[in-house]
Amino acid sequence: MVPTDGAHHRQPEPCDVVVFASQATRNPLAAQLCQLLINLDPARSVACVNASSSPPSHFASTLAAHAPGLVISTIGTAHPSAQDDAATQQIALIDACVSAGVPRLLLLPLRAECEDAADANGADGQAWKGVTAVQAQARVLRHLCAVSKPNRGMEAEAGGGGAVEEQEQEQTSSSRKLEWVGIASGTTLDTALLNGQFGVDMKWASAEVVGNGDSSFGASSAAWVHRVAAAVVQHWARLPRNRILHVAGCVTSPAEVLRCLEEVTGQDYLVSFVAVDEAVAEARKRIERGFVDKGVEMLERAFLFDHSRALGAVAAFGDRTAHDLLGLEGESVKDIVGVAVHQFRHLDTAGCGCG
């Protein structure tokens, strides 16, 4: 693996795959993805670029020097207030791929809801108004569709909305500027359980559930996302391109997650419930008072468990066509919860590889 860190001014070398990641030099998951790609094909050369220390204006020159056949973007952030910055980086990377003549681009993980939100003027787009992560990724998707299908699909970002069209298999490769695949893998459940975004406090064995707990949603582990990415790289030739693949590790509900938490920990959780409308109202109050991150976090959780908004995304995860194409079975909710509990119990423990 060739580490490329803008802060150290290493000279880029030609390679097959370039992975762009936020804080790549301190991001173990980015390193794991690179190593997984090499393990699958030892002859494959992979470089990891720290997008956080490399200005977007340098992306094109970095890609020109590496001359990769594939770019993988894992640029993202868990902080709601930084979602727009991450989207701006993603758009700069897309433009750099076009400028450098990169033929293939893989983006992960994407929110399944961004397809609905990408139609900014439609009812679905309005339904996700205020959910920063979804709106930011919708902006990326509109731009991506514009540069990869210049004569069809959505207009450029500045030109407004439209609907994401199905790729026409007859479209010749010469008419495309860029082929891309996006991976929507649902909520990264182990991460959300650890950082509080799911409404669970493992220290005090308590949880706040938005809705009645029965709402279905797509979920995956952080490790699953990279397994999917590696499978996409391996099977690119047989995949539909210029679209998002919905490949969640599982479809679950807050009630099932809590049952698994109690089974794995042996503790009874104290659970409180709040209605979706009440959660949305409280989230907006927090945002108005300046508590943006906490407010948007609550708003996203409320919208995730609101059937009227999330139904389309859940239905997409129920279709296992992409799993079959990629040769993937899925993962169990209990296993994902078990990973989160192990990491919580062993965080900062010397000699434990989970921290």
Helix (H) or strand (E) holding 303: helix 292-304
pTM of the model: 0.82
Please give the biggest Cα pair distance in the chain.
59
Kindly list the domain boundaries of the chain, sorted by start residue. 2-185+220-248
3-state secondary structure string across the chain: CEEECCCCCCCCCCCCEEEEECCHHHCHHHHHHHHHHHHHCCCCCEEEEECCCCCHHHHHHHHHHHCCCEEEECCCCCCHHHHHHHHHHHHHHHHHHHHHCCCEEEEEEECCCHHHHCCCCCHHHHHCCCCHHHHHHHHHHHHHHHHHCCCCCCCCHHHCCCCCCCCCCCCCHHHCCCEEEEEECCEEHHHHHHHCCCCEECCCCEEEEECCCCCCEEEECHHHHHHHHHHHHHCHHHCCCCEEEECCCEEECHHHHHHHHHHHHCCCCEEEEECHHHHHHHHHHHHHCCCHHHHHHHHHHHHHCCHHHHHHHHHHHHCCHHHHHHCCCCCCHHHHHHHHHHHHHHCCCCCCCCC
Q: Which SS3 state, helix, strand or coil, does residue 59 take?
A: helix
Classify domain 2-185+220-248 at the CATH class level.
alpha beta
Q: E strand or H helix at 200, and its extent?
A: strand 200-201
CA dist 171 and 174 (Å) reads 8
| CA separation for the pair 223, 74 (Å, rounded) | 13
Structure tokens at 24: 């790549």
- How far is Cα 89 from Cα 102, in angstroms, rounded to an integer? 17
pLDDT tens, the chain, 355 aa long = 555 554 444 566 789 999 998 765 456 677 888 999 999 899 999 998 888 887 888 899 999 999 999 999 988 755 555 677 888 899 999 999 999 999 999 998 887 777 666 665 544 445 556 567 777 888 888 898 888 865 443 333 333 333 344 443 433 333 447 999 999 999 999 999 998 889 999 999 999 999 899 988 999 999 999 899 999 999 999 999 999 999 999 999 999 999 999 999 999 999 999 998 899 899 889 988 988 888 888 888 887 777 666 555 677 888 778 999 999 999 999 999 999 999 999 875 545 555 4
